[in-house]
Structure 1
Amino acid sequence: MNILYVTLRKNRMSLRDLKSGKEVVGHGNFSNERILIGAFFAAEKVLRDLVVQVKPAGLLYRLFKWPRYDMVIDALEMNEGGLSQVEERAIMEMAAGAMAMKYRQMVVACATQPRTDDEVKALLALSQNQH
């Protein structure tokens, strides 16, 4: 199973591939005073660049043979009271664009600290059971 775990902080993202254990961090100017994803396309580019660093492949491979991933995305900052539906949707759309729609399942959540691999897998399993 291919699982990618993304954490969002103000103007900072990290991505961990649970299968390989590889983790990368990227920065960009995509947050503002009120919301983590204030500049949608800037955030999408940061995440796309992180995915390419973790899963490098040629253009043809990415277009035709790139496997679909399960993703968990955690907002670690600016999440007091939970995420609104608008914030969740913005994060989902940003990630879908960055992944060129090559995902199977996506869970958007918020936490105070990054999750362990087992916690990420449990959250995905819980989400599958709710659908």
Structure 2
Amino acid sequence: MTILYISLYKNRMTVRNLDDSREYSGSGAFSNQRLLVAQFFAAHDVLYPLIQQQKGENWLARLLKRKRFRILVDAMELNEGGLSQVEERAIMEMVASAVSMRYRQLEVRCSSHVRNDVEVRALLANSTS
């Protein structure tokens, strides 16, 4: 199953596929001074093409295979004191929509550094959800 690691910054995000180490970044005006995802649809519009690039297959292969993801999202900025339930839920809904609800596991965390592949796999393996 494909594992995606999403690093969420103020007005930009990076998606890394742990299976093949491909990494794509995008930016847009979706944050404000207090929230990473202040504009839900603007954030979705940045993330969706990054996910599509990660799929990397033609439309017929995608239709027949229906790939599911395991996803870890790290809020890298504006996370002092952790994320509120509302912020977590907004991020989860944005990611779920961008992957067309094709995920097996979706975790939202806070971090001050980009996690390596081993850390991402360990967090997903030890998750309770």
Alignment of 1:1-131 (within 5 A): 1-127=1-127, 130-131=128-129
TM-score by length of 1: 0.93
Letter aligned with residue 87 of structure 1? E
Measure, in 2, the Cα distance between the counterparts of 1:63 and 1:47.
Answer: 20
Separation in 1 of the partners of 2:98 and 2:48? Answer: 5
Mark the runs of 5 or more structure 1 residues left unpaired by the alignment: none
Structure 2 length as normaliser, TM-score?
A: 0.94
- Kindly report the root-mean-square deviation, in angstroms, between the aligned alpha carbons of the 2 structures: 1.2
Alignment partners' CA distance in 2, 1:58 and 1:97: 20
Q: Alpha-carbon deviation of 1:62? A: 3.7
Deviation of 1:60 (Å): 4.5
Q: Which amino acid aligns with 2:74?
A: D
> Structure 2 unaligned runs (5+)?
none
Quote the sequence identity (%): 53
Work out the CA distance in 1 between the residues paired with 2:76 and 2:108.
11
Q: CA offset at residue 63 of structure 1?
A: 4.5
What is the DSSP-based 3-state SS (H/G/I as helix, E as strand, rest coil) of the residue aligned with 1:50?
helix
Q: Return closer, same or farther for 1:81/1:90 CA change in 2, 3 Å cut-off.
A: same
Deviation at 1:61?
Answer: 4.0
Instruction: Tell me which stretches of 4 or more aligned residues in structure 1 moved more than 4 Å.
Output: none
Q: Which amino acid in the other structure matches residue 120 of structure 2?
A: V
Number of positions where the alignment pairs a residue of Structure 1 with one of Structure 2: 129
Could you list the per-position Cα deviations for residues 8-64 of structure 1 after superposition, in whole angstroms to 9, with x for gaps in the alignment? 000000000000000011001110111000010111111111011222234454445
Letter matched to residue 93 of structure 1: E
Change in Cα spacing, 1:86 to 1:112, as seen in structure 2 (3 Å) is same
